[in-house]
Structure formats: C-alpha cells, structure tokens
C-alpha cells in the first residue's frame, strides 16, 4: 500500500487555501476529463486520482485526518512497525453511518491508501458496544456538467440496503442533497461539485460556447451547426457578422434547479477564420470588391 501525496497530485502546497485547492482541481479535471479524452485509460486513471485527492483536501475534517495520518503512515513505513500505529482511533472518530465508497462512486474509484484512512467497506462504522449518536455525514461528490444538465444518480450502501440517490438536473457546485438514513441515526449530506466541461462554460443557468465560420460566411451570411447539451441546432449567421460577435439561442442553457422544464440560454461566440490561401478567382473578386467599396 503506497502513500499517496494528495497535495502533489493536485500540484498545491500543503498550506494551500480551500480556494487554491479548488482552482487546481478544476484546472486538472478539465484537462483529463473523460469527455475530453475518450478511450484514454491513463487519463481516466488520472481523473480518478485527482478526484480522490479533491474528495479529501476539500473537506476540512478529512484533510486534517489525512495530514495526521500521512505523517504517521510515513513513520510507520520507515520503522517497519505496523503494530505501533493505532488504527482504531480513526474508526472511532468517524461517526455512525455505514457508507460504501465503492457503491457511492463506483468500483475502483479510490486507492488502497484512501480506504486505509476512510474505510473500504463502510465509512464511519462505530466500534462495537459504543452508542451511536445522531449526526450528518458530509461528502463531496463530483459530477460532470452534462450530468448536471440531465440529472444523474449515485448509490449508497446503508447496512444491507442499497439506496439509489437522484441528483437533480440543474445542480451546481455547492448544491446539497440530503439522504436520510431510515432506521439509523443521522443522514448523508452530498455536496455536489460540478466539474468544468471542455465545450461549455456555465454562468448561472446560461451556457457559453464557441463556433468557427469562414470569412465568406461572415460576409455573406448563412447557417452553421452548433452543439448544445441536448443535440445540434442550426444557427443563422447574418451577412456582415463580425469576429467575436455573440448570438443567443433561447432555452438551450442549463435547466433551473427544481424547475427543470425551464432553461437558461446558450450564448454562441463566433470565431471568424481567414483563409491562408485564395484561388485566383477568389483573389480577383476580393480585389474588385475592395476597389468598389
């Protein structure tokens, strides 16, 4: 079981602030996101590693526990004395809920080192004979922008029961989903983190994207195909369109939380491509147009 330095995984200092950790996570997650690297196993593994590090360092309680255990684990490795470390003190601090990380985030989503700190089959099992006290277990959950658009699910293993939790369409970073634990003390509070998307930027309930057209379509007008979260649409380009001009496509943005039938808008910025080479006829026509302007 190798020690994993989550600070190095995210490329931040051990004294990094919560905001610095979030910025580093978002930048890396965008680079290796599966949607941006389809079929790339190394990118997928890197994405899991980044998410694992963020799950710990974004949570003050987990981060504190990791910092202490990380030092103890390193010492344990150097001394070669596994019996000197009291693993029981960590399980005793984690509360009453039994939440399976594998079921919550998918098989193989976390390393052996992560499980050694936070539990592989149940997080927060109270030691036998110890009374259980009501409490909330707060857990960050990373979802993609596309999952936030359509809504998605995650699974929790509570005792012998598997509970499917619906994460609502329109969720954004910071959205909280409460999962009451029937017959048990407390609840699980899922705090959502929506990762960046390579094709769209989100501002509130609106989305922003870019599309490229050639200079002739910009001058003469026409249509261009634009990708949206729910399929492709044809955008009408008027004659005389300027570089960087923005067009609004109504109702093609993000669904509103709790009112998914209503959606924000999609804003499309036009990038005008100038041809590097012209045919003799094209050059002649442009020269004539320039003389007659």
What are the sequence ranges of the domains in the chain?
6-194, 201-275
Tell me the three state secondary structure of residue 99: strand
Q: What is the DSSP letter of 191?
A: E
Residue range 131-166, pLDDT digits in tens: 444 556 777 888 999 999 999 988 776 666 777 889
pLDDT of residue 1: 53
What is the pLDDT confidence band of residue 77, given thresholds at 50, 70 and 90? Answer: very low
pLDDT at 186 over 80: no
Q: Are 226 and 249 in contact (CB under 8 A)?
A: yes
Measured CA to CA, the distance from residue 18 to residue 60 in angstroms comes to 9
Measured CA to CA, the distance from residue 117 to residue 123 in angstroms comes to 9
Measured CA to CA, the distance from residue 168 to residue 185 in angstroms comes to 25
CA 150 to chain centre: 14
Measured CA to CA, the distance from residue 126 to residue 115 in angstroms comes to 16
pLDDT of residue 175: 93
Measured CA to CA, the distance from residue 32 to residue 271 in angstroms comes to 25
Highest-scoring range by mean pLDDT, 72-81, 98-107, 265-274:
265-274
Neighbour count for residue 247 (Cβ, 10 Å): 17
pLDDT of residue 100: 43
What does pLDDT average to over the chain?
78
DSSP code string of 17-36? -HHHHHHHHHHHHHHH-TTT
pLDDT at 94 over 70: no
Measured CA to CA, the distance from residue 190 to residue 97 in angstroms comes to 13
Question: Phi first, then psi: what are they for 179, rounded to 5°?
Answer: -125, 100
Q: Which fold has domain 6-194?
A: Helix Hairpins (1.10.287)
pLDDT of residue 55: 81
Show the beta-strand stretches assigned E in 6-116. none
- Tokens 């504190």, residue? 64
Note the CATH number of domain 201-275: 2.60.260.20
Residue range 25-44, pLDDT digits in tens: 888 888 887 767 888 888 88
Mean pLDDT of the 192-214 span: 94
């Amino acid at each position: 079981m190798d020690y994993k330095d989550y600070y190095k995984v995210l490329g931040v200092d051990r004294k990094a602030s919560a905001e610095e950790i979030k910025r580093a996570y978002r930048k890396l997650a965008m680079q290796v996101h599966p949607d941006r690297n389809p079929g790339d196993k190394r990118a997928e593994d890197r994405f899991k590693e980044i998410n694992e590090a963020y799950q710990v360092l974004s949570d003050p309680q987990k981060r504190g526990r990791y910092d202490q255990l990380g030092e103890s684990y390193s010492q344990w490795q150097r001394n070669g004395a596994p019996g000197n470390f009291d693993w029981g003190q960590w399980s005793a601090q984690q509360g009453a809920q039994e939440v399976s990380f594998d079921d919550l985030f998918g098989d193989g989503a976390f390393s052996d080192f992560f499980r050694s700190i936070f539990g592989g089959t149940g997080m927060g099992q109270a030691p036998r004979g110890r009374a259980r006290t009501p409490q909330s277990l707060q857990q960050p959950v990373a979802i993609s922008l596309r999952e936030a658009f359509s809504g998605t699910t995650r699974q929790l293993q509570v005792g012998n029961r598997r509970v499917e939790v619906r994460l609502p369409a329109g969720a954004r970073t910071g959205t909280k989903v409460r999962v009451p634990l029937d017959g048990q003390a407390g609840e699980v509070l899922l705090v959502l983190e929506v990762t960046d998307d390579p094709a769209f930027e989100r501002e509130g309930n609106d989305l922003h994207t870019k599309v490229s057209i050639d200079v002739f379509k910009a001058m003469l007008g026409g249509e261009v195909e634009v990708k949206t979260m729910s399929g492709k649409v044809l955008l009408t380009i008027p004659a005389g369109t300027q570089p960087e001009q923005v067009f609004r496509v109504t109702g093609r943005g993000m669904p509103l939380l709790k009112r998914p039938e209503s959606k924000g808008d999609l804003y499309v910025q036009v990038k005008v491509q100038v041809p590097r080479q012209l045919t003799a006829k094209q050059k002649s026509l442009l020269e004539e147009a320039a003389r007659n302007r």
